Amino acid sequence: MGLTLRSVLTALVSLVSLSQGISLTGPRTLLILEDEVKGQFQTLISDLEARGFTTTIHTPKSTTLTLFQHEERVYDNIILFPTKLKGLGPNLPSSSFLKHATAGGNLLVLLPSSSDDNVPTAITELATQVDIFLPPKGFAVVNHFDPADAIEPEHDTLLVDLPTYPSDTKNYFNTGDDKSAKLLYRGAGLALGNSPLVQPILKAPRFAYSYDTKESSSFADDENVFSAGKQLVLVAGVQTRNNARITFVAGADLLADKSFTKVAKTNLMSGNRAFAKDVTAWTFKETGVLRVDGVEHWGEEFGKDVVNGDVYRIKHDVTFSIALSEYSYDHFEPFTAPSDDAVQLEFTMLDPYYRIQLPASSSPLTQHKNSTTYSTTFKTPDQHGVFTFAVNYKRPFLSNVHEKRAVTVRHFAHNEWTRSWGISGSWPWIAGIWVVVVGWIGFVGLWLWSKPVVAEGKGKKKQ
């Protein structure tokens, strides 16, 4: 009965997910834009719709727009397109976006590419709240060293390589066919704070800089440079603690139709369209989402007969394994940690006392076909108490994995200790005891049955 109910449910769920699309958050996407802006982003929007997102369009000033109904999110994803307005409408304060993210919704913010355009204060506020800092109006990034167009003297359209990351970070932003494609970028740039939740997705070229076009048109002095080089970020992603994602694109043209074109300098297609797909896919949780498919642990004591038991013994082998899979557009696939990264297991009692690598291993968890099993065997410490198996896997661009299983680690029972004869240092002492025992028995025998050997007649010996 239960089985049939479950299979019916599974079928229902899969049906629903098929019809609803593919983002793990959901397909309902709100586009906040003015009509004249829509024409610039046709490809982006149609690409999203082709991937199963359903779009709803509202203008920033819309009075009918509401992000929450009955305290429930109305939209799963929001894209804020650049606007000429100084402020967004009364229904879109910065707190509404934060509330949306707190409820698990995703947000993609496109900032204007032109230094003449305003950034609404709600967006500046929102950025500050997630540790991203926007330059004031009038700033633009230029790169004299590799301008997109050699003829243009302004140098404000940048050619940027597709992003690469250190070898311990997964690259979700270079999935296009042409890995060496250049991105066309125009905009003001961002600076990031120290929060581990905010990650640079795309950084400026080494010698590019963002300067105040109004104040320092003839010379970029210290006062009027916002940031430069690798400290200057063009696209930044925030993943909140509840795994909602907020992405800031500092120049909206990066995702606009006019950038999905050939790069004049190389005469090759720009990588912008593929990059736009990658950025939206990450922001709307089509990529970089991890799922824990199973956690199992067992001890040497009972073997695999007792899996996920809650008592272990000190100084005994314990095997822990966790199965992880990763979402990729429309399905889960085995998650492989980057080469220089590692899934780590912590064995904690308030503090972690063990932190050990969980290498990917052949799976004893045969029931999880679409996941990678990370497993290790270790000896429990010489300390009893309540310990926790914790996998705290937080990495840039990946949703957080924080699995905890509390178990008791008991001490040895009185009859589980090593016996005294098993300890070589005790041998002389044990021998001493038995020497005394045998000596005493012998003494008793002699005392009972010994015949005095004193010569006859010399009198009897006093006791």
Q: Which residues 160-219 are close enough to bind other proteins by CB under 8 A? A: 160-161, 163-166, 168-169, 180, 191-194, 196, 198-200, 203, 205-207, 209, 211, 218-219
Of 175, 352, 361, 388, the residue at the interface with other proteins (CB under 8 A) is: 352
Encoded amino acid at 208, one letter: A
What is the x/- site pattern for other proteins, positions 276-295, by CB under 8 A?
--------------------
Instruction: Indicate the angle between helix axes 272-283 and 42-50, nearest 10 degrees.
Output: 50
What's the closest the beta carbon of residue 23 comes to other proteins, in angstroms?
23
Q: Please work out the total of residues on this chain that contact other proteins, with binding judged by CB under 8 A.
A: 96
Q: Cα(first)–Cα(last) distance of the chain, in Å?
A: 93
Residue 43 contacts other proteins per CB under 8 A: no
What count of residues does the chain have?
463
What's the closest the beta carbon of residue 61 comes to other proteins, in angstroms?
29
Q: Which residues of 22-46 are buried (b: 16+ CB within 10 A; e: fewer)?
A: bbbbbbbbbbbbbeebeebbebbbe
Phi, psi dihedrals of residue 264, rounded to the nearest 5°: -60, -35
What is the x/- site pattern for other proteins, positions 231-270, by CB under 8 A?
x--------------------------------xxxxx--
What's the closest the beta carbon of residue 48 comes to other proteins, in angstroms?
27
**What is the helix (H) or strand (E) element at residue 357, kind and residue range?**
strand 351-358
Of 86, 316, 355, 369, the residue at the interface with other proteins (CB under 8 A) is: 355
What is the distance of C-alpha 27 from the center of its chain? 22
Q: Which is nearer to other proteins, 56 or 336 (CB)?
A: 336
Q: How many alpha carbons lie under 13 Å from residue 461 in its C-beta half-sphere?
A: 7
Q: Which is nearer to other proteins, 6 or 315 (CB)?
A: 315
What's the closest the beta carbon of residue 441 comes to other proteins, in angstroms?
6
Which residues ranging from 376 to 405 are in contact with other proteins (CB under 8 A)?
381-383, 394-396
Residue 36 contacts other proteins per CB under 8 A: no
**Beta-strand pair 245-249/106-110:** parallel
Quote the tokens at residue 84.
């000429």
Of 2, 36, 71, 449, the residue at the interface with other proteins (CB under 8 A) is: 449
Q: Which residues of 331-357 are buried (b: 16+ CB within 10 A; e: fewer)?
A: ebebbebeeebbbbbbbbeeebebeee
| Range in contact with other proteins (rule: CB under 8 A) among 48-56, 139-147, 245-253, 276-284 | 139-147
